[in-house]
Amino acid sequence: MKKNMKHISMCIAAVGVIALASCGGSSETKTADAAATAAPAGPVIAIDASGWAATDLSTLSTMIPVSMNLPKDAKMEKNGNGGVDIRLNEAYTITVSNIAVGSVKEAMDSDKTLNVNNKTSYKDGKVITEEANGYVYQMQMNDEANGTKYEPEAHFFFYLEKDGAVYSISDNRPMDNGFLPGSTYAVDNATKLYESVKATAKLK
């Protein structure tokens, strides 16, 4: 009788374990379920400059005597400031401008006040890579009063100087893609764009 009671108790315990597993589940299962229902990440944008070709931007604007490697299908146009906007893909526009500053250092310090050091609009601004003629940086838009939060995003600035004239080359969000999350703009992408510009951008 005792042997039967022990067998019954073991069966009840086993059923209880199965019930708990089916109702509560493991922490790993919960984590997997949460990941599956998380908000989707931004589109995967691959930056591969290996097939890009030298492009003369002065054919669009005489104010921009710059040549640099770009995708053959890039869409380019002269902007209202006499610079050139280059649409690389759905996420990236590169803008080349002739800027009214006395030196590359002055241009860089000025641009940093608008992004890395801009505490009014952004937080957690930091420089990822900095050289004499440019930098890669990351920042995050401040949270909105309504609770909206933003992801960090990375971009770059590069400068050319000749005969007292300074030209800036930077990447920006196209005007029609404000809906893309910050994760679209990965540090790796900003670094690849920066390295391509640094290696190929030349003044005529």
48-56 contacts at long range (C-beta below 8 A, 24 or more positions apart)? 48/192, 49/192, 49/193, 49/196, 52/196, 52/200, 54/200, 56/204
Kindly state the average pLDDT of the residues 142-162.
Answer: 95
Tokens of 150: 């933003």
Q: For position 177, what pLDDT does the model report?
A: 82
Which pLDDT belongs to residue 122?
A: 94
Listed in sequence order, the residues at least 6 apart from 45 whose beta carbon sits closer than 8 Å to its beta carbon are 89, 90, 91, 92, 184, 186, 189
Name the pLDDT band for 8 (thresholds 50, 70, 90).
very low
Tokens for 65, please give them. 């005597």
Cα(139)–Cα(132) distance, rounded to whole angstroms? 21
Q: Chain-wide mean pLDDT for the chain?
A: 84
Looking at the predicted structure, is the pLDDT value of residue 25 above 90? no
Would you say 141 and 150 are in contact if contact means Cβ atoms under 8 Å apart? yes
- pLDDT digits over 95-143, tens only? 999 999 999 999 999 999 999 999 999 999 999 999 999 999 999 999 9
CA distance linking residue 6 with residue 168, whole number of Å: 82
Report the pLDDT averaged over residues 26-46: 51
Which one has a higher pLDDT value, 9 or 151? 151
Q: For residue 94, is pLDDT > 80?
A: yes
Are the C-beta atoms of 182 and 140 separated by less than 8 Å? yes
DSSP assignments along 41-56, one per residue: PPP-----GGG-EEEE
pTM (2 d.p.): 0.78
Q: Given pLDDT bands bounded at 50, 70 and 90, which one contains residue 178?
A: confident
What tens digit of pLDDT does each residue of 47-85 get?
A: 999 999 999 999 999 999 999 999 999 999 999 999 999
In percent, how much of the chain has pLDDT > 70?
79
Banded pLDDT at 160 (limits 50, 70, 90):
very high
CB 181 within 8 A of CB 41: yes
Mean pLDDT, range 21-26, rounded to an integer: 42
